[in-house]
Amino acid sequence: MQAAAPQATFEFEPLDLADLASVRAFADRFLASGEPLDVLVNNAGVMAVPKRELTVDGFERQFGTNVLGHFALTGLLLPALAKSAAPRVVTISSGTAYFGCVDLGNLQGEKRYSASFTYAQSKLANLLFMLELGRRAPWLKSVAAHPGAAHTNLQQYTGLFTKITMSFLGQDSDAGALPSLYAATGEVASGEFFGPREKLNMNGPPVEVRLPKRANDRAMARALWEVSEKLTGVVYEFGALAGALQPRAHGDAAAPHAP
């Protein structure tokens, strides 16, 4: 990265999205810097864990990492986002979200666990969060992206069918990152979802793609938000941010600037 952008400054920080103490510690360190946060990309994820596992906080690993970790991180970093002139939150979902269904009575696989269903549920939950965040915080851009069929170690637990499909439709990780990069830096609007253009949105250059029908369930989004607040203990203090929000022109669609 330094070779590609020699004038830039890079910093690395420990952050485990499967551990709320780590999330809080990272957020505290970032807020203590006093810097604005222009772009937050919620990218951490685990996929299709064969047997039900728990995080250190007692959450099912896929739901705890993919959903609750990002919910907590975004909420804790709201004061830094409010300092930016054009804040943006990008939530990374998956094509499996189209097959997902959120079961509020079995969010963490307590009653029954399916590795693939639980993953698809978490990725649909990411889209419900993205849309609800945009409705509750219209002063920021809340968008989502998915990488298509990208060759990464995320598929280490997937079955033979997925591996065969990946061999035909998959693209390298650099190409898989393009929808996320476009969502983070392009001219976009809150609520938009980006993925690859070709072969059933599995590979190719990034374009806006349709949202799964279930992602537009506002009642489910509100219910999931309330559950996430209860489980993480992170309550989004929108009212307390009034004094921190940067002045914005009406309809401002400017791309985020570097801090």
Of residues 2, 6, 5, 27, the one with CA closest to residue 15: 27
CA 94/CA 114 separation, integer angstroms: 17
Phi, psi of 190 (to 5 degrees): -55, 140
Catalytic residue among 98, 113, 119, 182: 119
Tokens of 248: 């914005």
Instruction: List Cα–Cα distances, 3 to 9, 174, 253, in angstroms.
Output: 11, 16, 30
Q: How is residue 133 written in tokens?
A: 């965040």
Total residues belonging to the chain:
259
The Cα 184–Cα 56 span in angstroms is 30
Measure the CA–CA gap between 160 and 164, rounded to whole angstroms. 6
Q: Does residue 204 sit in helix, strand or coil?
A: strand
Residue from 145, 138, 135 nearest 193 by CA = 145
- Whether 236 is a known active-site residue: answer no
Strands (E), 24-123: 39-42, 88-92
The residue type at 164: I
Spatial strand order of the sheet with 193-198 comes to 39-42, 88-92, 141-145, 193-198, 203-208
CA distances from 204 to 143, 147, 164, 197 (A): 20, 10, 19, 5
Residues with a known catalytic role: 119
